């Protein structure tokens, strides 16, 4: 069903996998050599992000931000480690993707919880909008791929969301992060919907 006349742009995530392969592979090998497994890395990253979410729910944005900044890249090593072991699997990628969604929702949920408890309607609304955008970006891609369309595009994919959120939390600027995520996360979902629409129309010609 895919129309080859519509070129899928290369995302920042794709570029970073190429740019940092020279350092990610040795780190992945190191963890394998000390007995860590891909599933253990997935669990470690998820636990770290949930702990970060707890700090955020208490208004400790800098502490939560540091945990997210440090441990989210560790979670990204599981796929590399599976590849180095020669055992990458569709199910492993599926579980990794689900854990990423849980972690991101927990983080934004922690921020929303804090602002709701503070009676900050704007903060809690922005956190909800940011979480909605994050879920929709992933859902649109998954739904499009189930129909054999491409939807791996957009200004704010998961890597970009991480690069916005974690540093701004470390600098104790959560509202700025939420504004960016709320606006551009949902805009990215709309970009993907439009990209799928273009493919669908091209296939009808």
Is residue 2 a part of any domain in this protein? no
Nearest to 111, CA basis, from 98, 138, 130: 130
100: Cβ–Cβ under 8 A, 6 or more apart, which residues? 75, 158
Q: 75, 78, 96, 100: which is the annotated catalytic residue? A: 100
Quick one: pLDDT at residue 20? 60
Does residue 7 fall inside a structural domain? no
- 100 belongs to the catalytic site: yes
CA terminus-to-terminus distance, the chain: 12
Range of the domain at 118: 12-204
Tens digits of residue pLDDT in 153-187: 889 988 899 999 999 999 999 999 999 999 999 99
Half-sphere exposure of 190 (CA within 13 A, CB side): 6
- With CA atoms as reference, report the closest residue to 191 among 2, 8, 4, 3: 8
Specify the pLDDT at position 2.
44
Contact (Cβ atoms closer than 8 angstroms) between residue 154 and residue 188 = yes
Q: Which residues of the chain have pLDDT under 70?
A: 1-22, 75, 87-89
State the Cα–Cα distance between residues 55 and 28, nearest whole angstrom: 28
Classify residue 1: in a domain, yes or no.
no
Whether residue 5 lies inside any domain: the answer is no
Q: What is the pLDDT of residue 9?
A: 66
The total domain count for the chain is 1
CATH of the domain at 197: 1.20.120.1760
In a domain, 22, yes or no: yes
Instruction: Calculate Rg over the CA atoms of the chain.
Output: 18
């Amino acid at each position: 069903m895919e129309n080859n006349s519509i070129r899928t742009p290369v995302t920042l995530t794709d570029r970073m996998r190429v740019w940092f392969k020279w350092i990610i592979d040795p780190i992945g090998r190191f963890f394998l050599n000390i007995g860590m497994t891909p599933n253990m890395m997935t669990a470690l990253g998820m636990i770290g992000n949930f702990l970060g979410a707890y700090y955020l729910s208490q208004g400790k944005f800098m502490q939560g931000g540091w945990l997210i900044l440090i441990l989210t890249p560790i979670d990204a090593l599981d796929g590399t480690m599976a590849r180095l072991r020669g055992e990458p699997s569709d199910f492993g990628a599926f579980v990794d993707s689900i854990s990423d969604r849980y972690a991101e929702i927990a983080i934004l949920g922690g921020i929303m919880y804090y602002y709701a408890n503070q009676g900050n309607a704007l903060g809690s609304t922005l956190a909800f909008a940011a979480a909605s955008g994050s879920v929709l970006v992933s859902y649109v891609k998954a739904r499009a791929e189930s129909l054999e369309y491409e939807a791996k595009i957009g200004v704010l994919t998961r890597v970009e969301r991480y690069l916005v959120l974690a540093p701004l939390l470390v600098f104790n600027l959560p509202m700025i992060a939420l504004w960016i995520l709320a606006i551009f996360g949902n805009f990215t979902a709309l970009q993907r919907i439009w990209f799928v629409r273009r493919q669908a129309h091209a296939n009808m010609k």
